Amino acid sequence: MSRKGLEVSEASPSQGPPEEAPQFASHFLFLREMRVRQWSKNLILYAALIFSKNLFVLPLFLRSTAAFLVFCLLSGVVYTINDLLDLEADRLHEAKRKRPLASGRLSVRTAIAGASFVLVVALGAAALLGFRFLLISIGFLGFNLAYSLILKNIVIVDVISISISFLIRAIAGVVALNTAGVDLSISPWLLVVTFFLSFFLGLCKRRYEFLALQDAGTHRSTLTLYSEDLLNQLISVAATGTLIAYSIYTIWPDTVSHFGTDHLLYTIPIVVAGVTRYMFLVYRRNLGGDPSEILLTERSLWATVIAWFVSVALIIYVAQP
């Protein structure tokens, strides 16, 4: 099997370490280090609001937005800590070495200070949303730290851990509303969909890394234990699980009773189109390295997501029998 190598330029001995950016630029660099473009992953916190039919209830919408922002800040802290731990490996990676920390433009001291401040703000805001929401926020942070330190080094478990992180986000969206006195729970089948979809995206990312990186084990130790055939099979399993779980969710008696309609089943073709289109991009265009980036830049996927959201909104909020 051939892999496309990544060339790593080495600084000459006469070159010193990269100079840190001026103080006025440090805030911008720290914001980049927190990977704002990847905060879209936290949009899943709105699932509880949408599927509880409270999307247009302003106080609850604002509360879900506050919860979303808390998890965005916590995600930024986790990304920063992860980059601090992987600093040397990132400097050997063609793309990651351009990050503020790996490139040396943002100092370790500044990154630690910034992450500490953001963490205090995030946990303070979480406490204002209720004790239970604070607990799940701390749990999210702790689990992701465990991933950065241990779980990411265990084959298969590394990708499953990413899926669990998404499950925590989905549950946090429910907790944020429950602490406001809204009595709701999330469908188990919706959690299954969340798990398999995030598992699918994580496996696609591993496949990209496995094929694209020369000496892949120096960048991520578990990559040496994967194979292209294994990843292809696991991706198929995860994609199938996503589609089956979503299909069952749309016609599950509790779902039909909650929404008063079984019309959600008509959104199944849109979900099939989205998953299969993503697989096309992974297998035929060698994408998949950054799911957030693909979702932000691929017009076909954007159209699919918008079509699904509009269809679901019309079915839930408008087309009631």
Q: Is 178 found in the same domain as 30?
A: yes
Same domain, 101 and 142: yes
Mean pLDDT of the chain: 86
Q: Which domain holds residue 152?
A: 24-186
Model confidence band, residue 162 (pLDDT cutoffs 50, 70, 90): very high
Long-range contacts, 308-313 (Cβ 8 Å, 24+) = 308/267, 308/270, 308/271, 308/274, 311/266, 311/267, 311/270, 312/50, 312/264, 312/267, 313/50, 313/55
**Is residue 38 over pLDDT 90?**
no
- Looking at the domain assignment, is residue 7 inside a domain? no
| pLDDT for residue 93 | 66
Query: What pLDDT, on a 0 to 100 scale, did the predictor assign at position 320?
Result: 60
Q: Of 167, 186, 205, which closes a domain? A: 186
* Claim to verify: residue 182 and residue 192 sit in the same structural domain: no
Using the 3D structure, point to which of 186, 202, 236 is the last residue of a domain: 186
For residues 105-110, average pLDDT: 86
Concatenating the DSSP letter of every residue in 128-156 gives: HT-HHHHHHHHHHHHHHHHHHHTGGGSTT
What is the tens place of the pLDDT at every residue in 165-198?
999 999 999 999 998 777 787 889 999 999 999 9
pLDDT over 60 (residue 294): yes
- pTM for the full predicted model: 0.84
- Asked if residue 118 and residue 106 are part of one domain, the reply reads yes
pLDDT of residue 5: 40
- Which residue has 């980049």 as its token pair? 32
Per-residue pLDDT tens over the stretch 41-93? 899 999 999 998 888 899 999 999 999 999 999 999 999 998 888 777 767 76
Angle at CA 84, nearest 5°, toward 159 and 216?
45
